[in-house]
Amino acid sequence: MKRILKIAALVVLLVVVAVAGLFAVTFMGRQSLADGYEINRVRVVADGFSGMAIIRLDDGRVALVDAGDDPEGAAVLAELQRRQLGPEAVAAVLLTHGHPDHLGAIARFPRAEVMALEAEVPLVEGRAGARGPLPRLFPVSPTGVKVTRVLRDGDVVTVGGVPIRVYAVPGHTGGSAAYYVDGALLVGDSADIASDGSLQGAPWIFSDSQAENRASLVRLERRLVADGAAVKAIVPAHSGAGEGAALTSFARTNRERP
């Protein structure tokens, strides 16, 4: 019996080490998430492994892009307090996608509109599962989150007097979104910034399709140019921010890639 327990413990240890190693390989070479990074009206708040963005609105309130991993919302509530604001000041939560580490604190902001692309609503609400190699292993269950405003690709949503452009970037998940506001491009998990400042696509282990993700980023760069959206900074959810030119370089390199 003791031998069986030892073997079981060894197997569990090996699985833990393998998963930890896989995570390390997946994310090595990326810039560290920069808590407090600011560009114009956007500020990054780190919530452990995940980051969210707080957008300062013209009417004194704020909007969030994603809601972190912590259901208690300690990091974002502390940032609101720093601004002498309470939870009621959050006018909207715009979701880049429906993975759990981006939904955490939504319940803390009952007055906020919750927005997501139509294709992502079932994942956000827990009526469908993600298709990435790791996320597909987790059971599908209701999240308790209700999307109150469905977005569509190309929408311009005005929140508190501030226009926010909505772009569909499927690949990481089927309904992943990027948001452009005041020079900042908020990409969620659809891209990261490497330690050398270059842009990398979504990590394969969590993504539905890397090929679709690459194609979406190439298309996004072309659409931003067509819309006259001058990207000063690219702000991912799991790495530091990068310069807008990083997306241009990525698109140039990947335009002809299958």
User: What is the per-residue pLDDT across 220-251, written as a single tens digit (0 to 9) for each?
Assistant: 999 999 999 999 999 999 999 999 999 999 99
pLDDT at 5: 52
> In angstroms, rounded to a whole number, what is the distance separating the alpha carbons of residues 9 and 151?
47
> In angstroms, rounded to a whole number, what is the distance separating the alpha carbons of residues 198 and 114?
32
The reported pTM is: 0.90
pLDDT at 28: 63
pLDDT at 16: 36
What percent of the chain is predicted at pLDDT more than 90? 83
Span 18-26, average pLDDT: 44
pLDDT at 181: 98
Provide the pLDDT confidence category of residue 125 given band limits of 50, 70 and 90: very high
Query: When comparing pLDDT for 158 and 16, which is higher?
Result: 158
Query: When comparing pLDDT for 256 and 236, which is higher?
Result: 236
> In angstroms, rounded to a whole number, what is the distance separating the alpha carbons of residues 7 and 5?
5
CATH number for domain 35-254, candidates 3.60.20.10, 3.40.50.300, 3.40.190.290, 3.60.15.10: 3.60.15.10
Query: When comparing pLDDT for 57 and 5, which is higher?
Result: 57
Q: Are 187 and 200 in contact (CB under 8 A)?
A: no
pLDDT at 223: 98
> What residues contact 185, with CB distance under 8 A and at least 6 apart?
178, 179, 224, 229, 231, 233, 234, 235, 244, 247
Beta bridge mates, 223: none
pLDDT at 12 over 70: no
pLDDT at 255: 82
Span 153-182, average pLDDT: 98
Provide the pLDDT confidence category of residue 136 given band limits of 50, 70 and 90: confident
Supply the mean pLDDT for the chain: 91
